[in-house]
Amino acid sequence: MIAEAVRALAGLVYVLFIPGYIATWALYPKKDQVDVIERIALSFGLSLALSVLPMIALNYAGLAVNAVNVFLVILLVILVSSIITLLRLRFLGS
């Protein structure tokens, strides 16, 4: 019972927060560009877009939308956003 709740909470954070949070750092790499509350709010909105749109593309590509594919596609989104963030931070020097 508790394990299912922890798993559901971790899944919600993985899908609805982390992709957008990393994407906000890719869009606004400096700390003074966006306030913490704004960054969190943007994280939820961007996560919805970055989680749903690849799933639609996955469906149109003819691949099954199952738990493994969803995990891998969101992981790919997170990795790409992380790479963009690291490159922007390196070139901006912050």
Output b/e per residue, 45-81; b: 16+ Cβ within 10 A: ebbeebbeebeeebeeeeeeeeeeebeebbeebbeeb
Please state the domain extents for the chain: 2-92
Tokens of 74: 């969101």
Report the half-sphere exposure of 43 (CA within 13 A, side-chain side): 19
Q: Does the structure show a pLDDT above 90 at 13? A: yes
Query: 3-class SS at 64?
Result: coil
Nearest to 27 by CA among 11, 49, 52, 9: 49
Share of the chain above pLDDT 90, in %: 71
- What does the pLDDT read at residue 93? 74
pLDDT of residue 1: 86
Interval 52-91: pLDDT, tens:
998 899 889 988 889 899 999 999 999 999 999 999 989 8
pLDDT at residue 4 in the model: 94
Check residue 80 and give its pLDDT.
Answer: 95
pLDDT confidence bin for 94, thresholds 50/70/90: low
Tally of CA atoms within 13 A in the half-sphere of 62 that contains its CB: 0
Mean residue pLDDT across the chain: 91
